[in-house]
């Protein structure tokens, strides 16, 4: 320590910029590839393998301190950095946007420490880390979606006791969650759960799909890609492997429904088959825009672009995807 500090004390700089300029690297000397040490990455990968082997089951892992506060995607970062390799291309989105500060910082961390290419194009990426959304473009079997998870257990809504909930999962005892849905319908006339919609994975484990909108829940079912859900604060991760049955809990006569946007279309690209968010313009009027900015840009160039345009066959990918034999330009959402 003292050896390295001594020479710096002898040099004087005129400004912070001068200090930064004087460094011939980015301060990454001594850090492992992809920031995390090899043992940590190996442990995370082992936990992911276990999670893949038991779809929907929450697997504990040794969540490390990261250079940002827990709750800011530290679980997702650890999962992403553990599976990224130097030939991969990485995309990070935060609520559909590639350009949020947090997304940009995570992308830069991976670029700097893991030497990966980064992109904002869903179809170009190998690994996508995301907060609260699943991209509109259909993912393929070569891709992995890493979701940041604030709350790992769907049952915590009905019982704060983790011990009791672990027992419920062990015995597939989800009566309390069903009562929650029942009471939801009593109160609202339909199931009114905005996000973190309780979802059965492979007919066995009840899963919290993270705070994605209901719109994205159907994309989990029988997808071609792997989904990894990772929580830094709770130090647990879980997964939905490719082609797994994922079914949102609902009653036979009160079915699961995605968000409805009426006649609204994106004011930039005109899409009516994407997840829209409201924005208020300078004139005080509410307008709708695509939440997935990357796909919105593509649609602005080509309004007819299908969500599975890059795939060789028709892919079912959430609401609004053209089903086989239907109009290839996209349906009306339901």
Residues serving a catalytic function are: 56, 266, 269, 290, 296
- Residue 165 C-beta: closest distance to other proteins, Å: 14
- Cβ proximity to other proteins, 200 vs 226, nearer residue: 200
Letters for 260-299 (x = contact with other proteins by CB under 8 A, - = none) are ----------------------------------------
For other proteins, give the closer residue by CB, 13 or 178: 178
Beta carbon nearer to other proteins, 70 or 204 = 204
Q: Is 188 in the site for other proteins (CB under 8 A)?
A: no
Site string for other proteins, 148-177 (x = CB under 8 A): ----------------------xx-xxxx-
What is the residue-wise DSSP string for 45-108? HHHHHHHHHSTT--EE--PPP-SS-TTSSHHHHHHHHHH--TT-EEEEEETTBS-SHHHHHHHH
Which one of 179, 279, 326, 328 is in contact with other proteins (CB under 8 A)? 179
Structure tokens at 8: 């710096």
- What are 256's two structure tokens? 């699961």
Name which of residues 61 to 100 contact other proteins (CB under 8 A).
Answer: none
Q: Which is nearer to other proteins, 49 or 179 (CB)?
A: 179
Q: What values do phi and psi take at 101, rounded to 5?
A: -55, -45
Which residue in the set 22, 37, 164, 182 belongs to the binding site for other proteins (CB under 8 A)? 182
Give me the least distance between CB of 179 and other proteins, in Å please: 5
* Residue 178 near other proteins by CB under 8 A: yes
Distances (CA, A) of 334 to 196, 199, 223, 331: 20, 19, 18, 7
- Which residue of 5, 10, 29, 253 would you call a contact of other proteins, by CB under 8 A? 253
Distance CA 7, CA 317 (A): 59
Q: Decide if 208 contacts 149 (C-beta within 8 A).
A: yes
> Is residue 274 a contact partner of residue 320, using CB atoms and an 8 Å limit?
yes
When the beta carbons of 145 and 181 are compared against other proteins, the nearer one is: 181
Contact indicator for 266, 299 with CB cutoff of 8 Å: yes
DSSP 8-state class, residue 323: P
CB of 191 to other proteins, least distance (A): 9
Number of residues located near other proteins, criterion CB under 8 A: 17
For other proteins, which stretch binds (CB under 8 A), given 35-43, 113-121, 130-138, 184-192? 184-192
Give the count of beta carbons closer than 10 Å to the beta carbon of residue 99.
Answer: 12
Q: Which stretch binds other proteins (CB under 8 A): 65-73, 82-90, 205-213, 251-259?
A: 251-259
Token output for 61: 């892992």
CA max distance for the chain = 77
Owner of token pair 């006649």: 263
Q: Is the dihedral of CA 46, 50, 52, 56 positive or negative?
A: negative
> Which of residues 197 and 295 has its CB atom nearest to other proteins in the complex?
197
Tell me the window of 69-77, 96-104, 185-193, 218-226 that interacts with other proteins (CB under 8 A).
185-193
Contacting residue, 251, 260, 279, 302, with other proteins by CB under 8 A: 251
Nearer Cβ to other proteins (31/251): 251
User: Which secondary-structure segment (H or E) carries 7?
Assistant: helix 2-10
Dist. CA 117–CA 86, nearest whole Å: 8
Please tell me the distance from the alpha carbon of residue 317 to that of residue 245, in angstroms, as a whole number: 13
Residues that bind other proteins (CB under 8 A): 170-171, 173-176, 178-179, 182-183, 185-187, 251-254
């Amino acid at each position: 320590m003292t050896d390295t500090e001594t020479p710096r004390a002898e040099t004087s700089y005129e400004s912070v910029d001068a200090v930064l300029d004087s460094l011939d690297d980015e301060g990454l000397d001594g850090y492992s590839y992809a920031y995390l040490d090899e043992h940590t990455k190996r442990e995370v990968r082992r936990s992911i393998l276990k999670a893949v082997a038991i779809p929907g089951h929450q697997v504990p892992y040794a969540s490390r301190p990261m250079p940002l506060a827990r709750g800011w995607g530290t679980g997702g970062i650890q999962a992403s950095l553990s599976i990224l390799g130097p030939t991969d291309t990485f995309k990070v989105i935060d609520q559909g946007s590639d350009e949020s500060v947090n997304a940009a910082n995570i992308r830069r961390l991976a670029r700097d420490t893991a030497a990966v290419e980064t992109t904002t194009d869903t179809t170009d990426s190998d690994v996508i880390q995301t907060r609260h959304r699943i991209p509109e473009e259909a993912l393929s079997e070569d891709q992995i979606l890493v979701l940041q998870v604030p709350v790992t257990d769907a049952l915590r809504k009905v019982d704060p006791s983790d011990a009791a909930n672990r027992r419920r999962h062990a015995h597939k005892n989800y009566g309390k969650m069903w009562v929650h849905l029942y009471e939801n319908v009593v109160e609202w006339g339909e199931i009114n759960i905005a996000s973190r919609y309780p979802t059965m994975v492979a007919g066995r484990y009840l899963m919290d799909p993270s705070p994605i909108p209901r719109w994205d829940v159907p994309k989990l079912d029988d997808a071609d890609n792997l989904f990894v859900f990772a929580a830094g604060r709770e130090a647990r991760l879980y997964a939905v492997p490719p082609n797994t049955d994922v079914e949102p809990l609902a009653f036979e006569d009160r079915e699961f429904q995605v968000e409805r946007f009426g006649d609204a279309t994106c004011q930039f690209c005109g899409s009516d088959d994407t997840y829209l968010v409201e924005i208020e313009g300078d004139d005080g009027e509410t307008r709708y825009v695509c939440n997935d900015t990357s796909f919105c840009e593509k649609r602005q160039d080509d309004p007819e672009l299908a969500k599975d345009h890059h795939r060789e066959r028709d892919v079912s990918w959430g609401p609004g995807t053209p089903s086989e034999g239907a109009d290839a330009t996209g349906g009306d959402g339901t």
